[in-house]
A and B are shown apart, each in its own frame.
Chain A
Amino acid sequence: MSRPTSGPVASDPSWGNRSDLDVLNRDIPRVDGPVKATGEAVYTHDVRLPDMLWARVLVHPVPRAEIESIDVEAASEMPGVVHIEALKEPGDAVRYLGDDAVLAVVAAETPDQAADALGAIVVKARRLAPVVTPEQALKEGAPVVSRRRKADSNVGRANERGDEAVADAALAGAVAVVERTFVVPIQHHVCLETHGHVVQPAPDNEQVTVYASTQSVGGTPRGLARTLGRDASKIRVLTPHMGGGFGSKFGPGLEGALAARVANVTGRPVHLMLTRADEFAIAGNRSGSRQKLKVGADSDGRLVGLKLEADKLGGVSGGSLPGPPYIYTVTDGAAVFSKIRSVHTATDGSRAMRAPGHPQASFAMEAAVDELGYLLGMDLVDIRIRNLESAVHHRQLRRVAEEIGWADHPNRDRPGAAVNGRAVGIGFGVSVWGPGGRSSRCDVTVRPDGSVVSATATQDLGTGARTYVAAIVAEELGLTVDMVEARIGDSDLPPSVTSGGSVTTGSSAPAIKDAAHKAREGLEALLTDVLEAPVGSYVWKDGRVSVRGDASRSLPWIAVCALLREPLLAQGEFRDFLHEGRIHGAQAAKVEVDTLTGRVKVLKMVTCQDQGLPLNRLALRSQINGGMVQALSYGLLEQRVFDEQDGFLLSDNLDLYKIAGSQEIPEMVALIDDEDERPSVCGMAEAPVIPGHSAIAGAIHNACGARLTRMPFTADNVLETLYGKI
């Protein structure tokens, strides 16, 4: 039996002085590296249970149709088919290409048999006009595909802010004015592990076990409770490892509900992972947008007025776009007017994706700032600093400018021109994020044999969360990381947060710290009789404890633990003062544009990022790099493409939906902003994905004068912008 520590604690936990840290704020190789590098890590995709069925879903190939019949009879007689179920009746509509287009589910003894049965289902349907583009959605007499109640068009209610007349007057008085319409395509998350679950049913008095590729082990039991017909406490969700989420894996979704239902009906374990094509069709995306942005500046380069009219393109969902002015400040806040509305198409609803809405807003706003700089003959770094309130942004911009070689670059206040068809440019962008922290818990157990377990129901999306679950405890107790076992990815552990919006670190790290601190004080209480010093007067370092100021009164870790007669359980919770709420970043990109072919090659990207105390500098640089890579990929390559006539999703595979590969990767410099000396921690993953594509667009403009107003920055886009034709 373990016992919780009791009685008043001697002191509050603290992250301590950075100079005293032995484990944190250093490069810590991730603790699950060896199992990942050897293929031993078991993802949901890899779960194989005895007697397991393989399930697949049938997705209608186009967004809108009226179902005449779904004949599963022949399919049900195929070899190995155990369960087959049509999900629509004759006369039902397919209203959009998303979960509403899932027509049937099949479960069979082998994956091939499930695929064969899927192919033997005979569907008769009348295709309807597709409505896959905003133009089709806005056309007079267009079919209403919006899911809003009583909707009579595909346009959502406009969100208007500010006074248009005040903004107009300010813009009329501006010395320089830029007006552009920016078009941002829809991006996919492209988690390498598709969405899915393995559900192992159980008798009513036992727990159902669900393996889930999820960003929320804690929330998934509630999401499946109704389908499984049992209380959430009777559902255990396990996510030992997961292959990427990026905001798309918060709930079990239809695929999870179907896996649960088939497991219930058949009484057998069910493996249901979406195929790559399913994933593109029904597993979410980052919303697109069209932004008509007008910004004016005075002769000093101060922004004095702004107007934004924007359409968010989130399919059947609303999409996301923060209001203007994005990050930058307009001198008179009253001179900012915006009208933002959703335009709905019959396509999969957008979901959260790493910094939802922010990269879209950044693309338009950074472009406007660049162009105002050029109109006024101002240095691109100077005009940014003039319009950014935070001194953190100022120092970060100077730092990335120095690293990218801005001082020696000829085009600091005007775009350059190509020499022999080749032009080099530099661009900039900034980011903010406010992840904060919220309720989270952690249990730290110290056993008499010296072993330590740190346990919390978080999940590691690839961020390195599992590593700091161990490392924070190791730091507090003077141990090495390998002496602490991290247990995560299990809904039965002490609850933590859903991993979205960079909230995980700011929420769970304080709880882990609190638990570790309580464990330390629990051990110190035992030492008062042995080393004869009160709680709070010990130093834990290098696997030993000693009395502060008297190294001769000391014990090795194993001897301290031997004083325990039973395991010591310390229960930690979120402590507000151990986390930070707000982070900042700046990026610079250097590109080479071939103005004869239109090809853009990114030469270098630099990010400077703050986050309070860095827990693990190695994982932090990985995350910053990852943000830059995803932003580069978004800027240069990615867009969802529909066949507008018939409504087929053309980009439903990784040949036609392009993401960045190794040959697109330039030199990348991830700078941790060590001038941020805040003594607390914060998540940061959203921030570095926000401005990279904006910096690349700025660099293209800076190189050769081509202001690209739509993404991605493909060769045809560059040539058309440069010459008005291809």
Chain B
Amino acid sequence: MREMDPSSGEPSAISRRSFLKGATQVAAAGGIIGGAPASEQGTAVEPEVETLSGSSSMELLVNGKSRSVEVQPRTTLLHALRNQMKPPLTGTKEVCGTGSCGACTVLIDGQPAYSCLTLAVTCAGRPVTTVEGFGSADAMSDVQQSFCDKDGMMCGFCTPGFVVATHAALDRAPKATLDELKYELSGNFCRCGTYPHVFDAAQAVQKDRARGEDGR
């Protein structure tokens, strides 16, 4: 069904270079939610870059720590986090794999992005924050605590993506109205239908943070 690359024993229907370049642009256009325009993001791989095949090692800066990870040019950031890192970071979930649902949302350079549409190699030198980077069960972030208080979760499979997206939304638009919050969170799906309580959780954080500012 696929052409074989005799040198590597791996399928190679198109050249790595054209694949890498094309995929990066796709990732830039579809993977960054409301981030910089695609034209600014598509420059991560210059045409002169050395063509690689197989796996190579790279450093990812995840939750403030440098993590060494073996990746292929096609490896997504999501798969690098979940499958390649030792130990793996499985808080970030894979649900659709096509940039539709937001379960894989992480921050890259502080901006929310779909890690399923972002190639790991494009993240070299860029800080990545996953849901684990915001807090732990013993020391939750205000957003995580609010999701618990307001029951902004049922099965919980979408929750990591929603937590990251909510952090990003409240950083970008701290005074967002309910309609604006719905827009900010529109890149994430929940199947259990927990949305009303997610909105409650986000609004409670807004109130708490505003109170904190008033108190200063």
Contacts and interface: CB of A to CB of B under 8 A. Distances in A.
Contact of B75 (A30, A36, A112, A276): A112
A626 interface: yes
Contacts of B94: 45
A22 interface: no
A29 to B, nearest CB: 5
B174 interface: no
Interface stretch (B17-25, B42-50, B185-193, B208-216): B185-193
Given A30-B153, A190-B191, A37 B159 contact: yes
Interface stretch (A149-157, A316-324, A661-669): A661-669
A627 B193 CA distance: 7
Provide the main secondary structure of the chain B interface: loop
Q: Which of B90, B130, B152, B198 is packed against the most chain A CB atoms within 10 Å?
A: B90
A120 B153 CA distance: 40
Interface in A1-51: 27, 29-30, 32-43, 45-46, 48
A241 B156 contact: yes
B35 interface: no
Interface in A417-452: none
A275 interface: yes
A654 B189 contact: yes
A244 B151 contact: no
Interface string B66-103: 00000010110001001100011111111111101101
A191 B144 CA distance: 23
Contacts of B9: 77-79
Contacts of B154: 462-464, 622-623, 626
Interface string A615-627: 0001101110111
Contact of B72 (A112, A246, A621, A660): A112
Contacts of B89: 39
A113 B95 CA distance: 20
Interface string A98-131: 0000000000001110001001111100000000
Contacts of A654: 95-96, 98, 100-101, 189
B189 A33 contact: no
Contacts of B157: 43, 192-193, 243-244
A670 B11 CA distance: 54
Contacts of A660: 193, 195
Interface string A190-208: 1111000000000000000
Contacts of B97: 275-276
Nearest to B79: A111
Contacts of A79: 9-10
A321 B163 CA distance: 39
A191 B72 contact: no
A627 B191 CA distance: 10
Size class of B's contact patch?
35 or more
Size class of A's contact patch?
35 or more
A87 to B, nearest CB: 17
Given A119-B11, A653-B96, A39 B130 contact: yes
B143 to A, nearest CB: 8
B136 interface: yes
Contacts of A77: 9
Given A35-B137, A120-B2, A665-B195, A622 B132 contact: no
Contacts of A33: 147-148, 151, 153
B151 A618 contact: yes
A629 interface: yes
B135 A276 contact: no
Contact of B135 (A38, A123, A242, A627): A38
A629 B195 contact: yes
Given A36-B153, A110-B83, A192-B93, A244 B191 contact: yes
A74 B158 CA distance: 38
A531 interface: no
A550 interface: no
Contacts of A659: 189, 191
B64 to A, nearest CB: 16
A461 interface: yes
Nearest to A119: B2
A244 B192 contact: yes
A123 B1 CA distance: 8
A220 interface: no
Contacts of A243: 93, 155-157
Interface string B85-129: 001111111111110110100000000000000000000000000
Contacts of A42: 90
A140 interface: no
B175 interface: no
Interface in B165-216: 181-183, 185-186, 188-199
Contact of A40 (B79, B136, B149, B151): B136
B52 interface: no
A297 to B, nearest CB: 34
Contact of B96 (A276, A633, A665, A670): A276
Contact of B137 (A40, A46, A463, A653): A40
A276 B189 CA distance: 14
A633 B190 CA distance: 11
Contacts of A112: 72, 74-75, 79
B160 interface: yes
Given A33-B147, A45-B94, A78-B9, A192 B163 contact: no
A46 B90 contact: yes
A39 B196 contact: no
B215 to A, nearest CB: 25
A192 B197 contact: no
B100 A37 contact: no
Interface string A653-697: 111000111110100101000000000000000000000000000
19 contacts: A33-B147, A33-B151, A38-B140, A79-B10, A111-B79, A116-B10, A121-B1, A241-B155, A275-B97, A462-B192, A626-B193, A629-B193, A629-B195, A654-B95, A661-B186, A661-B188, A662-B198, A663-B183, A663-B186
Interface of A: 27, 29-30, 32-43, 45-46, 48, 74, 77-79, 110-112, 116, 119-123, 190-193, 241-244, 246, 275-276, 461-464, 618-619, 621-623, 625-630, 633, 653-655, 659-663, 665, 668, 670
Interface of B: 1-2, 4, 9-11, 72, 74-75, 79, 82-83, 87-98, 100-101, 103, 130-132, 134-138, 140, 144-145, 147-149, 151-160, 163, 181-183, 185-186, 188-199
Given A38-B163, A112-B74, A246-B191, 13 more contacts: A35-B137, A37-B144, A37-B147, A37-B160, A48-B90, A78-B10, A111-B79, A122-B1, A191-B155, A192-B191, A462-B155, A654-B95, A662-B186
